[in-house]
């Protein structure tokens, strides 16, 4: 979907043309695949609770399917590291200009920013100037770096809805109106079948040794991480001849590029697209790119290691700026090293394979990791996060914009 300039015409039936009060309108902005998923779930809840609501903004196919009018395609705006940010700067500028014009013309009742902080905080400044209330759903990682953004958010944001309990403590101490709603992944993954059922669906033997590769879906991630994971899988296979390797690819990932990379690799692997939770549940062990996918794996209870590579400039700047002990979300939630992390120069095929084989060869270590992942899941709260978030959002709407009472 190409970037569009939003229609600046006053919609028929609005108060401006004498047709009566228009339905409440919310603009939602997500800039990458995980935000598109959470935005879609939130949109579905909002439309169910408030049927007359209209939604527009930036997102991907999931938000569009959930009834959001997509003005800017988030698949064009997702970036990894400083190099890709520079390469996409014109697209990002065009997207920001388009959404600013939309806010100016439409004057929605609310702007919901979903993660994607550098972009969304710029847009939030425009909304604040226009007198549009702002709800921020899924906090920027202010606990990791650039903590000064909390002051900006205290000034701009009417309500923060956060996914982790430590975020609520941080924002409340800083004087930000915040609520911990829990993590939407608990709802999204609730219907994932059992390990046995997933193996049957994927055509895997019940006793097969299965390793899942989760390289991410962005172009830069696939370019940097997929060859690394395939080489590691080859070395694992050398020590375990009956290994089955699955590549879990998100719906937005370039399947042709992944299959081309597999074709040139020494180790065979099957690509499973759009069914990543099934791959996670079916696998005995995962080699996973750092990101939301590692939290999904933790919720599903599958042992893993976390890896990542970025450009060296991004890495060096990150070392200077980031102030956390871990990069993996399961470790951050646990506040302990429950999952091994092999990042940048430590991320070699040899080290990934050796770590995976060491864990797979130790029933005690596998059991400890599964128990630790259960604790991570417990810390994420109870299911129903998206519904709680939707109720908080609707409570921010002006009373005369509601057709249904907030319960």
Report yes or no on 331 lying in a domain.
Answer: yes
On whether both 205 and 300 belong to a single domain, the answer is: yes
Nearest to 287 by CA among 365, 220, 231: 231
**Residues 185-236 pLDDT 10s:** 998 899 999 999 999 999 999 999 999 999 988 888 899 999 999 999 999 9
| pLDDT value of position 316 | 58
Whether the per-residue pLDDT at 319 is higher than 80: the answer is: no
Cα gap 198→61, rounded to integer Å: 25
Cα gap 142→208, rounded to integer Å: 42
Judge whether 119 and 85 are in contact, CB under 8 Å.
no
Rg, C-alpha atoms of the chain: 22
Strands 25-30 and 110-114: parallel
Nearest to 301 by CA among 280, 273, 278: 280
Residue 33 pLDDT level (bands cut at 50, 70, 90): confident
On whether both 266 and 184 belong to a single domain, the answer is: no
Q: State percent of the chain over pLDDT 90.
A: 67
Residues 98, 104, 109, 113, CA torsion sign: positive
| pLDDT value of position 9 | 35
On whether both 269 and 178 belong to a single domain, the answer is: no
| pLDDT value of position 10 | 33
On whether both 147 and 291 belong to a single domain, the answer is: no
CATH of the domain at 173: 3.40.50.2000
Judge whether 264 and 252 are in contact, CB under 8 Å.
no
Report yes or no on 4 lying in a domain.
Answer: no
Identify the weakest region by mean pLDDT among 6-15, 138-147, 221-230, 246-255: 6-15
On whether both 157 and 183 belong to a single domain, the answer is: yes
**Residues 61-75 pLDDT 10s:** 999 999 999 999 987
Count the Cβ atoms, other than its own, within 10 Å of residue 170: 19
Phi/psi at 244 (5° precision): -110, 130
**Residues 8-32 pLDDT 10s:** 333 333 333 444 556 799 999 998 8
Length of the chain measured in residues = 407
On whether both 151 and 212 belong to a single domain, the answer is: no
Stretch 132-142: mean pLDDT, rounded?
89
Stretch 385-401: mean pLDDT, rounded?
91
Q: How far apart are the first and last CA of the chain?
A: 37
Report yes or no on 12 lying in a domain.
Answer: no
CA angle 170, 173, 175 (to 5 degrees): 110
On whether both 222 and 104 belong to a single domain, the answer is: no
On whether both 325 and 338 belong to a single domain, the answer is: yes
On whether both 313 and 182 belong to a single domain, the answer is: no
**Residues 72-121 pLDDT 10s:** 998 776 655 444 555 667 888 999 999 999 999 999 999 999 998 889 99
On whether both 281 and 369 belong to a single domain, the answer is: yes
| pLDDT value of position 84 | 53
For residue 103, the enclosing domain spans 23-188+383-401
Residues 356, 245, 293, 288, CA torsion sign: positive
On whether both 328 and 365 belong to a single domain, the answer is: yes
Whether the per-residue pLDDT at 293 is higher than 90: the answer is: yes
């Amino acid at each position: 979907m190409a970037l569009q300039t939003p229609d600046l015409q006053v919609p028929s039936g609005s108060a401006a043309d004498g047709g009566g009060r228009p339905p409440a309108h919310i603009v939602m902005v997500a800039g990458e695949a995980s935000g598109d998923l959470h935005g879609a779930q939130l949109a579905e809840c909002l439309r169910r609770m408030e049927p007359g609501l209209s939604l527009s903004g930036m997102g991907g196919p999931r938000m569009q399917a959930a009834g959001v009018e997509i003005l800017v395609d988030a698949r064009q705006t997702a970036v990894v590291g400083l190099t890709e940010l520079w390469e996409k700067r014109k697209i990002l500028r065009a997207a920001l200009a388009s959404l600013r014009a939309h806010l100016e013309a439409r004057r929605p009742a609310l702007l919901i920013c979903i993660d994607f902080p550098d972009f969304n905080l710029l847009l939030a400044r425009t909304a604040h100037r226009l007198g549009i209330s702002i709800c921020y759903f899924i906090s920027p990682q202010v606990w990791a770096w650039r903590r000064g953004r909390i002051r900006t958010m205290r000034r701009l944001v009417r309500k923060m809805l956060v996914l982790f309990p430590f975020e609520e403590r941080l924002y409340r101490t800083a004087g930000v109106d915040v609520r911990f709603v829990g993590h939407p992944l608990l709802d999204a993954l609730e219907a994932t079948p059992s390990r046995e059922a997933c193996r049957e669906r994927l055509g895997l033997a019940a006793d097969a040794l299965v390793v899942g590769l989760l390289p991410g879906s962005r172009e830069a991630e696939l370019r940097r991480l997929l060859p690394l994971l395939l080489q590691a899988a080859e070395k694992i296979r050398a020590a375990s001849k009956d290994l089955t390797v699955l590549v879990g690819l998100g719906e937005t990932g370039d399947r042709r590029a992944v299959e081309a990379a597999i074709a040139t690799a020494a180790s065979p692997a099957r690509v499973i697209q759009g069914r990543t939770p099934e791959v996670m549940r079916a696998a005995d062990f995962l080699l996973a790119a750092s990101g939301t996918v590692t939290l999904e794996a933790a919720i599903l209870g599958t042992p893993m290691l976390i890896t990542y590579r970025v450009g060296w400039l991004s890495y060096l700047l990150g070392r200077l700026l980031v102030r956390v002990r871990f990069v993996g979300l399961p470790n951050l939630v646990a506040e302990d090293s429950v999952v091994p992390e092999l990042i940048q120069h430590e991320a070699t095929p040899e080290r990934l394979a050796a770590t995976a084989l060491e864990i797979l060869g130790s029933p005690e270590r596998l059991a400890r990791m599964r128990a630790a992942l259960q604790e991570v899941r417990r810390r994420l709260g109870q299911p129903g996060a998206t519904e709680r978030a939707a109720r908080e959002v609707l409570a921010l709407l002006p009373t005369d914009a509601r057709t249904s009472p907030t319960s």
